[in-house]
Amino acid sequence: MYYCCGITSQGVMPHNEDAFLIHKTVITDGALEAKLAPPFLLGVSDGVSGEASGEVASRQCLNLISSIRFSRKTNMERKLEDVHNLLAQYGAGNSETRNMQATFCGIGVDENNLLHFFNVGDSRLYRYRNAKMRQLSTDQSLVQMLYKEGTITKEEQKTHAYRHIISPVMGNLSHTPTPDIQHAGERMAYGDVLLLCTDGLSDVVSPSEMEEILALPLPLPRRLERLIALALKKGGKDNVTIVAMVFFEA
């Protein structure tokens, strides 16, 4: 069995362009906890800044993903392409939503308890293990490409003028996104925490700060609340969304 919890906050923004998915439930405001048996999907989505109706895009993206009957045999590349196409069609059908786009970062646990990871954009997946955070997803962004080429350093990524330019994401009318799909081929270990988040957290809270809060002897939802509070305290000016998962014996 798996315990999952999520929380989304609009922060200082006038509305929330983030959403999260736990199994079949999409949340655009507040929190959710669930105990799940596999197979299931989790995810976070962030409406792309500067595009129309980001809050509609993230919600619709996860609503479509929630309808996927996930298993080890599911072709997620094809399924995510279908979601992208449906989202693009929806966006193109109305001038108010035209070219609406959203990121997606997710976890799948199949019927054999094996982990699968999915990413489109710059929302992130981390693993907290033995008091250390490790980023498992790779940002699909311009600064990540420049870092990989050796043009800029890891530190320069954080303040680069083009740090918010990302590769095509779900719903883009001009280009089809390329999902990064990882079949981890492993089961979740006892004591691990898998954490999904939008850039409202990762842009302002460092992995070491995440480690300090996740190490606190508090229920997992309270630790997620602490992470969001820290993001806002440090001047975060974006929506903040986090989903976390742990494994336990039924």
Give pLDDT tens digits for 12-34: 999 999 999 999 999 999 999 99
- Phi first, then psi: give them for residue 7, nearest 5 degrees: -150, 140
- Give which of 4, 34, 9, 5 is closest to 19, Cα–Cα: 9
Strands (E), the chain: 2-9, 18-22, 25-27, 30-36, 40-46, 104-109, 114-120, 124-129, 132-135, 180-187, 193-197, 240-247
pLDDT in tens, 197-220: 999 999 999 999 999 999 999 999
pLDDT for the residue 83? 98
Q: Which pLDDT tens digit goes with each residue over 41-96? A: 999 999 986 666 899 999 999 999 999 999 999 999 999 999 999 999 998 888 88
pLDDT at residue 149 tops 90: no
Structure-token pair, residue 97:
């939503």
Q: Report how far apart the first and last C-alpha atoms of the chain are (Å, whole number).
A: 6
* pLDDT at residue 157 is higher than 70: no
Query: What is the distance between the alpha carbons of residues 21 and 211, in angstroms, rounded to a whole number?
Result: 24
Q: Tell me the domains of the chain and their CATH numbers.
A: 2-247 (3.60.40.10)
Beta pairing partners, 243: 6, 196
No. of H helices and E strands in the chain? 7, 12
Of 85, 106, 25, 96, nearest in space to 59 by CA: 25
